[in-house]
Amino acid sequence: MNNNVDVAIAGAGIAGCLLARNLARDGHRVAVIEKSKREDAGHDWWDTIKIATFARVGMPEPEPPELMSTRHEATVYLPLETKPLTAPPRPESIHVDRKLLEQRQIRYAEEAGAELLFGAKATGPLLDGDQVVGMGVETAEGEKIELRAKITIDAAGMSGVLRSKMPEKFGFPQQVERKDMFVTYREIRNNTTASRDDLLIFGKNNGVVWVNRAEAGMVDFFAGAINFPGRTEPRDIVNEMIRKTPEAGDRIMRGGYGAPIPVRHCFDSFVAPGFMLCGDSACHCSPIDGSGMASSMIAADHASKIAHAALENGDTSLAALWPYIGAYKREQGVPFVGLDAVQKFMVSEPKINLELLFTRGVLKIEEFWGSGGGAGGNKLKMLLRLIKLVDRPLFVRRLIASVGIGAKLKVHYMNFPDKYDPAEFAAWVKGKESLFAELPPAMLPPR
Ligand SMILES: Cc1cc2nc3c(=O)[nH]c(=O)nc-3n(C[C@H](O)[C@H](O)[C@H](O)COP(=O)(O)OP(=O)(O)OC[C@H]3O[C@@H](n4cnc5c(N)ncnc54)[C@H](O)[C@@H]3O)c2cc1C
């Protein structure tokens, strides 16, 4: 591998591969460091993504067997599991086989000319003052290399191996806080019957549980819970669901493990001199359920355009990379920051209130589950629906206040400073934090 490149990327996941393809295609020398072996890259299950994402980032749509089913109707319960609701089919959302998608993305990156090194770990950024000039790498053979680059990108997922060793002054933290992450567990068993019903329990243990039978012959069990102290172990939740599902066979066909995922709004900044964050490492994900494939790809698309322009102009300073932040925030950050307000409101309320919100039809599951949007679009419709909660005036007051803060946060995101100015950025961060501080605190699970 060439130890001196234009762009060095940690992580050959959803974001890293797309960055590598785009930047190599633009004629830059790109090296990607991936800790998994080539054949192990990608999660061992399928995930849901809007099909339109592929056109958005200039990638051919998946075909079978990578393309699996579309999302069909699901029975939904709220945390107290009193009354079943129905979430309508979402034909715009598909299941993709993550392993096959990953292999395709790796192929695109290599065909474009990027060099990928598998079984090698990124160990930390190389710094020259404030400028990131590459990363440390430990190869599969234990050899330590200094990989030098004009731009270094952390696309290594939530743990952010490079981010975690960067000084905090740039507007992103070293670690994602526990309250901002889901711990998850997923196990896919053989389905011993022809049943294809889907079940979703939303809000259980401050998280999400599903039993999905969309894929023939398999039952997919998932549990994710916010990593609050005292939380229930997702694996225990899955085991309980398996016990309650008689058609689940004994064979673990895929998965059988979990991984933490961020559930928060994206970081205030995702750039430093010569350095960018992309995907889960910057919390480019939905704060409601941690979905981050589409947003990681969209972030990679913006990041590669800005990195290309910076390399063409021979300027990889903080100011040159800055436009990446506003571009992502305006496209994807705006709906997601609104959803973060919804998420924070939901974990602050007694479960019975959430139950009433949905069972009385004030909010519809499909209006925010996987929508990236939320129900706030039509204010009049929302106000009329609130009449259904007339016996809960204090709850309605808190709900209206939280929706209002969500709306202000969205406007605040739209007004992210276009140009790098430390004072203006500091004022923007302060404004955002004061809006979040107005949201009620989480109601923690009993220890
Ligand atoms: C159980 C589960 C279910 C999910 N379901 C969905 C879903 O249905 N829809 C959806 O949109 N999203 C879903 N997600 C989230 C989605 O997987 C992530 O948002 C997405 O993969 C983020 O892409 P990324 O490129 O940032 O990170 P990743 O795809 O995680 O890629 C990071 C890469 O970096 C590598 N890496 C890590 N550390 C190092 C290191 N030190 N050196 C070198 N390489 C390193 C990793 O091996 C990995 O290949 C789910 C996540 C989980 C855990």
What are the pLDDT digits (tens) for 68-102?
987 778 888 887 878 888 888 888 889 999 999 99
Residue carrying the six token digits 């605040």: 412
Q: In this model, does residue 373 exceed pLDDT 50?
A: no
Out of 3.30.9.10, 3.30.420.10, 2.30.30.90, 3.40.1190.20, select the CATH number for domain 179-261. 3.30.9.10
Instruction: Say what the pLDDT of residue 350 is.
Output: 87
Cα 127 to ligand 1 centre (Å)? 26
Q: In this model, does residue 357 exceed pLDDT 90?
A: no
**To the nearest whole percent, how much of the chain has pLDDT over 90?**
70
Cα 383 to ligand 1 centre (Å)? 39
Give the tokens for residue 85. 């609701």
Cα 272 to ligand 1 centre (Å)? 22
**Three-state helix/strand/coil letters over the chain:** CCCEEEEEEECCCHHHHHHHHHHHHCCCCEEEEECCCHHHCCCCCEEEEECHHHHHCCCCCCCCCCEEEEECCEEEECCCCCCCEEECCEEEEEEEEHHHHHHHHHHHHHHHCCEEEECCEEEEEEEECCEEEEEEEECCCCCEEEEEEEEEEECCCCCCCCHHHCCHHHCCCCCCCHHHEEEEEEEEEEECCCCCCCEEEECHHHEEEEEECCCCCEEEEEEEEECCCCCCCHHHHHHHHHHCCCCEEEEEEEEEECCCEECCCCCCCCEECCEEECHHHHCCCCCCCCCCHHHHHHHHHHHHHHHHHHHHHCCCCHHHHCHHHHHHHHHHHHHHHHHHHHHHHHHHCCHHHHHHHHHCCCCCHHHHCCCCCCCCCCHHHHHHHHHHHCCCHHHHHHHHHHHHHHHHHHHHHHCCCCCCCHHHHHHHHHHHHHHHHCCCCCCCCCC
Give the tokens for residue 431. 């404004």
Q: Look up residue 67 and give its amino acid.
A: L
Instruction: Say what the pLDDT of residue 233 is.
Output: 94
Residue carrying the six token digits 């398996």: 242
- Residue nearest atom 28 of ligand 1, based on CA coordinates: 13
Choose one of 9, 14, 238 to mutate for the ligand 1 pocket test, by most ligand atoms within 8 angstroms of C-beta.
14
Atom in ligand 1 nearest the alpha carbon of residue 41: 49
Q: In this model, does residue 377 exceed pLDDT 90?
A: no
CATH architecture entry for 4-67+97-175+265-332? 3-Layer(bba) Sandwich (3.50)
Pick 310 or 375 by higher pLDDT: 310
Q: In this model, does residue 224 exceed pLDDT 50?
A: yes
Q: Which residues line ligand 1 (CB under 6 A)?
A: 10-16, 33-36, 41, 47-49, 121-122, 155-157, 161, 184, 186, 259, 261, 279-281, 285, 290-294, 296
Instruction: Say what the pLDDT of residue 365 is.
Output: 75
Cα 279 to ligand 1 centre (Å)? 8
- Do 209 and 34 meet the contact criterion of CB atoms below 8 Å apart? no
Q: In this model, does residue 179 exceed pLDDT 60?
A: yes
- Do 273 and 306 meet the contact criterion of CB atoms below 8 Å apart? no
Cα 373 to ligand 1 centre (Å)? 22
Instruction: Say what the pLDDT of residue 442 is.
Output: 75
Rounded average pLDDT over 156-162 = 97
Cα 121 to ligand 1 centre (Å)? 16
What are the pLDDT digits (tens) for 263-311?
999 999 999 999 999 999 999 999 988 999 999 999 999 999 999 999 9
Distances (CA, A) of 105 to 54, 412, 443: 12, 35, 41
Instruction: Say what the pLDDT of residue 376 is.
Output: 47
Choose one of 35, 104, 276 to mutate for the ligand 1 pocket test, by most ligand atoms within 8 angstroms of C-beta.
35
pTM: 0.95
Rounded average pLDDT over 436-442 = 87
What are the pLDDT digits (tens) for 100-148?
999 999 999 999 999 999 999 999 999 999 999 999 999 999 999 999 9
**To the nearest whole percent, how much of the chain has pLDDT over 70?**
96
Atom in ligand 1 nearest the alpha carbon of residue 36: 47
How many CB atoms sit inside 10 A of residue 28's CB?
Answer: 23
- Residue nearest atom 29 of ligand 1, based on CA coordinates: 13
Pick 441 or 133 by higher pLDDT: 133
Q: What is the largest CA-CA distance in the chain?
A: 68
Instruction: Residue 114: name the closest of 59, 36, 32, 1 by CA.
Output: 32
Atom in ligand 1 nearest the alpha carbon of residue 224: 1
Cα 42 to ligand 1 centre (Å)? 8
- Residue nearest atom 31 of ligand 1, based on CA coordinates: 13
Cα–Cα dist 397/240, whole Å: 37
Domain residue ranges in the chain? 4-67+97-175+265-332, 179-261, 334-437
